[in-house]
Amino acid sequence: MEGVDHLAHERNKTEFDVDAMKIVWAGSRHAFELSDRMARLVASDPVFRKDDRTRLGRKELFKNTLRKASHAWKRILELRLTEEEAGQLRNFVDEPSFTDLHWEMFVPAIKGQGTDEQQQKWLPLAYKMQIIGSYAQTELGHGSNVQGLETTATFDPETDEFVINSPTLTSSKWWPGGLGKISTHAIVYARLITNGQEHGVHGFIVQLRSLDDHMPLPGITMGDIGMKFGNGAYNTMDNGVSKFDHVRIPRNQMLMRVLQVTREGKCVQSNVPRQLIYGTMVFVRQTIVANASTALSRAVCIATRYSAVRRQFGSQDGGMETQVIDYKTQQSRLFPLLASAYAFRFVGEWLKWLYTDVTQRLQANDFSTLPEAHACTAGLKSLTTAATADAIEECRKLCGGHGYLCASGLPELFAVYVPACTYEGDNVVLLLQVARFLMKTVSQLHSGKKPVGTTAYLGRLQDLLHCCCDVQRAEDWLKPGVVLEAFEARSARMCVACAKNLSKFENPEDGFAELSADLVEAAVAHCQLIVVSKFIDKLQQDIPGKGVKQQLQNLYYIYVLNLVHKYLGDFLSTGCITPKQASLANDQLRSLYSQIRPNAIALVDAFNYTDHYLGSVLGRSDGNVYPKLYEEAWKDPLNDSVVPDGYHEYVHPILKQQLRNARL
Let me know if 161 is a catalytic residue.
no
Show Cβ contacts of residue 419 under 8 Å, excluding neighbours closer than 6 positions.
234
CA distance linking residue 289 with residue 345, whole number of Å: 8
With a CB cutoff of 8 Å and minimum separation 6, the contacts of 658 are 652
- Exposure of 580 by Cβ count < 10 A (0-12 exposed, 13-18 middle, 19+ buried)? exposed
Q: What is the DSSP letter of 112?
A: H
- Rounded-to-integer distance, Cα 102 and Cα 291, Å: 17
- Dist CA 311 CA 3 (whole Å): 22
- The 3-state DSSP class for residue 72 equals helix
Alpha-carbon 226 to chain mean position: 23
C-alpha distances out from residue 429 to 57, 123, 433, Å: 36, 33, 6
Phi, psi of 431 (to 5 degrees): -65, -35
d(Cα 498, Cα 435) in Å, to the nearest integer? 9
Q: Residue type for 436, please?
A: R
Query: How far is residue 151's CA from residue 292's CA, in Å, rounded to a whole number?
Result: 32
| Phi/psi at 203 (5° precision) | -100, 140
* Nearest by Cα to 505 from 496, 493, 497, 513: 513
β 240-244/173-174 pair status: antiparallel
Secondary structure (3-state) at 231:
coil
Q: Is 262 annotated as a binding residue?
A: no
Among residues 340, 347, 331, which one has the least CA distance to residue 381?
A: 347
Supply φ then ψ for residue 636, to 5 degrees: -65, 135
CA distance 393 to 299: 9
Per residue in 62-74, pLDDT (tens digit) is: 999 999 999 999 9
The C-alpha atoms of residue 355 and residue 392 are separated, in whole angstroms, by 28
Going by their DSSP bridges, the two strands 259-261 and 267-269 should be labelled as antiparallel
Integer Cα distance of 604 and 602 in angstroms:
5
The sheet carrying 240-244 orders its strands as 173-174, 240-244, 220-224
Neighbouring C-alpha atoms within 13 Å toward the C-beta of 268: 9
**How far apart (Å, rounded) are the C-alpha atoms in residues 639 and 564?**
49
CA 477 to chain CA mean position, Å: 31
Instruction: Determine the Cα–Cα distance for residues 187 and 105; give it in Å rounded to an integer.
Output: 9
> Strand 161-165 and strand 152-156: pairing?
antiparallel
Query: What pLDDT is recorded for position 661?
Result: 57
The torsion defined by the Cα of 606, 611, 614 and 616, in degrees rounded to 10, comes to 130
Rounded Cα–Cα distance for residues 221 and 246 (Å): 12
Helix crossing, 370-398 with 427-443: angle to 10°?
A: 140
Is 138 within any annotated ligand binding site?
Answer: yes
Strand partners for 2: none
185 near 131, Cβ under 8 Å?
yes
- Single-letter code of the amino acid located at 438: L
Segment (H or E) for 201: strand 197-207
Rounded to 10 deg, the angle between the 278-309 and 328-363 helix axes is 160
Nearest to 94 by CA among 219, 233, 197: 233
The neighbouring-strand residues paired with 261 are 267
CA gap 502, 443 in Å, rounded? 11
Question: So what's the pLDDT on residue 663?
Answer: 58
Query: At a CB cut-off of 8 Å and minimum separation 6, what does 215 contact?
Result: 209
Task: State whether the Cα torsion 601-602-606-611 is positive or negative.
Answer: positive
Give the phi and the psi of residue 95 in degrees, each rounded to 5. Answer: -150, 115
pTM of the model: 0.94
Q: Determine how many CB atoms are found less than 10 A away from the CB of residue 594.
A: 10
Residue 371's pLDDT is 84
pLDDT at 270: 85
State the Cα angle at 627 between 621 and 630, rounded to 5°: 120
The whole-angstrom separation of Cα 580 and Cα 390 is 29
In the chain, which stretches have pLDDT less than 70? 1-2, 659-664
DSSP states of 190-249: EEEEETTEEEEEEEEEEE-B-TTT-PBPTTEEEEE----STTTGGGGS--EEEEESSEEE
Q: Residue 364 has what pLDDT?
A: 84
- What per-residue confidence (pLDDT) applies to 662? 53
The type of residue at 570 is D
Answer positive or negative: Cα dihedral of 147, 358, 103, 50.
positive
Contact between residue 489 and residue 572 where contact means Cβ atoms under 8 Å apart: no
Catalytic annotation, pick one of 95, 412, 424, 521 = 424
Instruction: Let me know: does 108 contact 286? Beta carbons within 8 Å.
Output: no
Q: With the CA atoms of 80, 86, 90 and 91 taken in that order, what torsion angle do they form, in degrees rounded to the nearest 10?
A: -140
